[in-house]
């Protein structure tokens, strides 16, 4: 395999052995970006001069005998993270010139680990889409088919990884924003347990970068192998030092099992609110067959699984009630009028999204209380199972759809159209209760597009789905470079 597609683990070994310098590696990746990113538009804010300077310093540090987890390794960062000296816009034109004064806590952790930051990757407007396009930076294309989306909101990072623009990236996830781009581009991603990795500085401009307790959103790693996800998660994990007063690292429990034959897995390929397309079901079944062949205990049904319909409703309510919190009062009043006009019999997800946008605190607290019941149900579930295998979205990457009214967009599932945002229900299975979920490649569709699945694990037992991902990679293969 050409070096540009080697894993972070392999590249770190080469750097430590003196087989390559950080300067050489960084120059190779920059040359690749300059050659191929014209067609993809994954790197929206290049920072090559500072990357080369950081690579030179990494080589000097290694010559002094230093070693750090990512010393000299070229990586990328999602545009939504603050990096001092670079714009943070979240794709929003009014903030195209916003320059944060300091790095996000995760950017600091990357630099402290010795990483060489190549630049920032593209996102959708306000991070609120399943595609990555905006007026400032344009559209990111899927490396496997430029007529299709790379996903969102970490779509630039997934496309960059698939194209060989660095071996690691960091993104974020509230509605599958790590997992969906990984699924669409054929790479790996991990949505950590809620609260595991500090969030400060992954902040919409021009808000100050303060420690926050996120209700649903997380920050997490993206890579081309499962082991590389663990390498990067170990750099990212830990609470905000501003909250604790000192830097504080987290010791996660080890994976429940080391051998595939010891895992107990529930496989779910259909959601009560939306069908799964044939290509995605085939990917889920490929993983299920590999698990069974490896001796794992595989079940297809369990009464312990929390109700997926109520889970999707709660997820919709919690996410959309928070998404409009910063809307102007005039917009809120218009939403309230539209919500009041809904028929009481309309229980569609579109209707529930609109109702959630005008939730009172009383409404939100009621939903939050029901969420705690679901969390408890998951605790009971994970006494009998170690992981859930399920889809990330119902389809592989879909063609670009930039209709300015997302409510007019549709998702085509095997020839039948469904409301665009209904495809988020699979992301919500892990997001609503705050569970960790690892996105893994699971083959390709008949058209040759990547298909991924997610492995959902117990809260704060992130190493369990990550280890399962590693074992599955040995069984069915993992990342393949697009032609």
**DSSP states of 237-299:** BB--HHHHSS-----PPPPS-SSGGG-EEEE---BTTBPPPHHHHHHHHHHHHHHHHTT-EEE
**DSSP states of 371-392:** HHHHHHHHHHHHHH-SEEEEES
Cα separations in angstroms, 6 against 2, 56, 173, 447? 7, 21, 26, 26
Q: 354: which 2 tokens?
A: 């609109």
The C-alpha angle 154, 156, 162, rounded to 5 degrees, equals: 105
- DSSP assignment letter at 324: T
Catalytic residue among 80, 132, 150, 153: 153
Q: How do beta strands 188-191 and 264-267 pair? A: unpaired
Q: How do beta strands 410-413 and 416-419 pair? A: antiparallel
**DSSP states of 156-178:** HHHHHHHHTS-SEEEEEESSSTT
Instruction: Check if 445 is active-site.
Output: no
Using CA atoms, how far apart are residues 236 and 249, in angstroms rounded to an integer?
9
Using CA atoms, how far apart are residues 194 and 216, in angstroms rounded to an integer?
7
Q: Is residue 257 within 8 Å of residue 290, measured between CB atoms? A: no
Q: How do beta strands 297-299 and 264-267 pair? A: parallel
Catalytic residue among 80, 157, 172, 177: 177
Count of other CB atoms within 10 angstroms of residue 370:
17
Using CA atoms, how far apart are residues 374 and 347, in angstroms rounded to an integer?
21
Q: 39: which 2 tokens?
A: 């067609």
Instruction: Check if 78 is active-site.
Output: yes
Helix (H) or strand (E) holding 31: helix 22-40
Dihedral sign for Cα 302, 304, 305, 310, please. positive
Q: Is residue 186 within 8 Å of residue 151, measured between CB atoms? A: no
Instruction: Check if 177 is active-site.
Output: yes
Q: Is residue 98 within 8 Å of residue 141, measured between CB atoms? A: no
Dihedral sign for Cα 392, 335, 356, 364, please. positive
Using CA atoms, how far apart are residues 369 and 170, in angstroms rounded to an integer?
32
- What does the chain come to in residues? 483
Catalytic residue among 78, 80, 157, 191: 78
User: Annotated catalytic sites, by residue?
Assistant: 78, 153, 177
């Amino acid at each position: 395999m050409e070096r540009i597609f080697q894993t972070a683990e392999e590249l770190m070994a080469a750097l430590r052995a003196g087989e390559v310098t950080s300067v050489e590696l960084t120059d190779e990746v920059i040359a690749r970006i300059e050659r191929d990113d014209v067609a993809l538009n994954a790197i929206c804010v290049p920072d090559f001069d500072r990357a080369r300077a950081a690579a030179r310093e990494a080589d000097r540090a290694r010559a002094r005998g230093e070693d750090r987890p990512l010393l000299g390794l070229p990586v990328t960062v999602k545009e939504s993270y603050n990096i001092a000296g670079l714009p943070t816009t979240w794709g929003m034109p009014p903030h195209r010139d916003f320059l944060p004064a300091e790095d996000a806590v995760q950017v600091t952790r990357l630099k402290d680990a010795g990483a060489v930051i190549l630049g920032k990757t593209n996102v959708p407007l306000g991070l609120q889409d399943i595609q990555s396009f905006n007026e400032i930076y344009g559209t990111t294309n899927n490396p496997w088919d430029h007529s299709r989306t790379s996903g969102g909101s970490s779509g630039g990072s997934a496309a960059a990884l698939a194209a060989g623009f660095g071996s690691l990236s960091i993104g974020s996830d509230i509605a599958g924003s790590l997992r969906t781009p990984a699924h669409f581009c054929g790479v790996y991603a991990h949505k950590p347990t809620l609260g595991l990795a500090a969030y400060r500085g992954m902040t919409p401009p021009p808000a100050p970068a303060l420690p926050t307790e996120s209700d649903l959103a997380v920050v997490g790693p993206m890579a081309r192998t499962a082991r590389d996800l663990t390498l990067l998660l170990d750099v990212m994990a830990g609470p905000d030092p501003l909250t604790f007063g000192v830097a504080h690292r987290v010791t996660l429990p080890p994976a429940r099992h080391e051998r595939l034959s010891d895992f107990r897995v529930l496989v779910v390929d259909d959601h009560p609110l939306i069908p799964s397309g044939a290509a995605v079901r085939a990917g889920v079944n490929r993983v299920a067959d590999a698990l069974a062949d490896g001796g794992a205990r595989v079940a297809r049904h369990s009464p312990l699984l929390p109700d997926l319909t109520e889970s999707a409703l709660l997820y919709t309510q919690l996410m959309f009630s928070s998404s409009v919190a910063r809307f102007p009062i005039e917009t809120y009043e218009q939403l309230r009028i539209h919500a009041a006009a809904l028929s009481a019999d309309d229980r569609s997800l579109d209707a529930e999204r609109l109702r959630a946008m005008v939730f009172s605190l009383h409404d939100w607290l009621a939903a939050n209380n029901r969420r705690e019941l679901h969390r408890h149900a998951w605790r009971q579930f994970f006494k009998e199972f170690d992981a859930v295998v399920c889809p990330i979205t119902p389809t592989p990457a879909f063609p670009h759809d930039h209709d300015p009214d997302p409510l007019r967009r549709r998702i085509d599932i095997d020839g039948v159209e469904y409301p665009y945002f209904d495809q988020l229900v699979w992301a919500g299975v892990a997001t609503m209760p705050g569970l960790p979920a690892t996105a893994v490649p699971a083959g390709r569709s008949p058209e040759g597009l990547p298909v991924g699945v997610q492995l959902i694990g117990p809260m704060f037992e992130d190493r369990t789905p990550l280890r399962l991902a590693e074992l599955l990679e040995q069984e069915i293969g993992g990342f393949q470079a697009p032609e």
